[in-house]
Amino acid sequence: MSDFNSDFWPVYISAITVISILACIVLLWTLSTKRVATGGKAGVTGHVWDEDLEEYNNPLPRWWIWLFYITIVFAVIYLALYPGLGRYPGLLKWSSRGQYEAEQAKARETYQPIYAKYAAMSIPDVARDPQAREMGQRLFLNYCAQCHASDARGGKGFPDLTDKDWLYGGDPETIVATITKGRSGMMPAWGKILGDEATRNLADYVIALSGGAHDELRAAYGKELFAANCVACHGPEGKGNPALGAPNLTDKTWLYGGSSTALVETIGKGRNGVMPAWGEFLGDEKIHLLAAYVWGLSNAR
Ligand code: HEC
Ligand code: HEC
C-alpha cells in the first residue's frame, strides 16, 4: 500500500485524467472541422468493401458531436465538485468515509437513547420488554443465526440456546461473559492415546451414563477408563463442568450426537467448539440486548 501513499500516484492519475479530457476536445474539434484527405475521387474516402460499398467523406453529425461535448462538460463539472483529481477534495467535500460517518452518527442519535434505556435495566426486565426482545432478535438474526440457527436451536456442534442445558451456564452474567469474551471448548483427542478398543468402551460407558442401550461389558471397562481420564473435566459422575464448558454426559442433550458412531468420533478425535468473542465488535449495550434475548428464550417471560 505504501505506493498509494506517495505523492506520485495522485499526480500521475490527475495528469492522465486532464490530458485525456483535453485530447478528447482536440479530437472532436479536428473531426468536426477538417475532412480526411480523399484518395483522388471527390466525396469519398477511397475505402471500398464488398466491391462497391464506398465510405463517404462527411464530417460526423452535429448532434453526435454535441453529445460528446456534453459528456466533457459533465466530466469537468463532476471533477470540480467531487474528489476525482488526486488529492483534490472537490467543492462539495464529499467522501465515502464522511457519508458513512454521517449515517453512523444519525443512527447513533436515533438509537442511543433506546440502548441507554435498556442498558440501565436488568437482563430479566429487558427480556420481558417486547420492543427489546424484537431488537435482540434482530441482532441475533444478524450476528448469531448463521451458527445457532434463526430459531436459536443450534445444530451439530452449535449449542441449542432455547433449552435449559448450558455448557457454560445460563444465568444473565454468564451469558453476557460468553458473548463478550467468546468461548473455546477443549475436548482432547483420546484415540491415539488410549487406542480404538478403549475408545469404543468409553463410548459405551457414556451411553450408559444417560441410560441408552449399551454393551454391559464394554461399559464396565469404560467406567474405569472414565475414572482415570475424564473425571477431571466431566466430573466424577459425568455431570460436566461449566467452568470448562465440559458438557453433562448424563442427559440426552448432545452437542455432537449421542450415537455410538458420533461418540467414538468425539472421544477418538476430540472436539474444539469455538464461540467467537463479540465484545469489541458489538459493544456492551448491544450485548446486553442479545443476552436478554438469549436468556429469555429459556426463561419464563
Ligand atoms: C461462528 C459460529 C458462532 C457464532 C457466529 C455465534 N456463536 Fe455462540 N457458540 C458457538 C459455538 C461453537 C458454541 C459452543 C462453544 C463450545 O463448544 O465450547 C457457542 C456457544 C454459545 C453460548 C453458550 C451456550 C452454553 O450452553 O453455555 C451462547 C450463550 C452463545 N453461543 C450465544 C451467541 C450469540 C448471542 C451470538 C451472536 C452474537 C453467537 N453465539 C454467535 C458458535 C457461534
Ligand atoms: C480437558 C478437559 C476434558 C477431558 C479430560 C475430557 N473432556 Fe470430554 N469434553 C470436554 C469439553 C470442553 C467438551 C466440549 C467440547 C466442545 O465444546 O467443543 C467435551 C465434550 C465431550 C463429549 C461430547 C458431548 C456432547 O454433548 O456431544 C463427550 C462424549 C466427551 N467429552 C467425553 C469425554 C470422555 C469419554 C473423556 C475421557 C476419555 C473426556 N471427554 C475427557 C473436556 C474434556
pLDDT tens string 238-276: 999 999 999 999 999 999 999 999 999 999 999 999 999
Residue 279 in this model has a pLDDT that exceeds 80: yes
pLDDT tens string 99-134: 999 999 999 899 899 999 999 999 999 999 999 999
Kind and range of the H or E element at 183?
Answer: strand 183-184
Class of domain 191-272: mainly alpha
**180 and 285 Cβ atoms separated by less than 8 Å:** no
pTM for the whole structure: 0.78
pLDDT tens string 207-238: 999 999 999 999 999 999 999 999 999 999 99
The angle that helices 130-143 and 96-119 make with each other, rounded to 10 degrees, is 130
Can you give the pLDDT at residue 86?
85
For the CA of 245, the nearest atom of ligand 2: 12
Ligand 2 lined by 254 (C-beta under 6 Å): yes
Q: What angle do CA 266, 272, 275 make, to 5 degrees?
A: 135
Can you give the pLDDT at residue 171?
96
How far apart are the CA of 221 and the centre of ligand 1, in A? 34
Ligand nearest the Cα atom of residue 231 = 2
Ligand 2 lined by 267 (C-beta under 6 Å): yes
How far apart are the CA of 246 and the centre of ligand 2, in A? 6
Distance of CA 301 to the CA centre of its chain: 31
| Beta-carbon count within 10 A of 75 CB | 15
Could you tell me how many helices (H) and strands (E) the chain has, helices first?
14, 4
Can you give the pLDDT at residue 219?
97
Judge if 99-184+276-298 and 191-272 fold alike in CATH terms.
yes
Q: Using CB atoms within 10 Å of the CB of residue 253, give its burial: 0 to 12 exposed, 13 to 18 middle, 19+ buried.
A: middle
Ligand 2 lined by 259 (C-beta under 6 Å): no
Query: C-alpha dihedral over 115, 121, 122, 126, to 10 degrees?
Result: -60
Ligand 2 lined by 250 (C-beta under 6 Å): no
Q: Where are the domains of the chain?
A: 2-94, 99-184+276-298, 191-272
* Average pLDDT of the segment spanning 275-295: 96
Domain 99-184+276-298 has CATH 1.10.760.10: yes
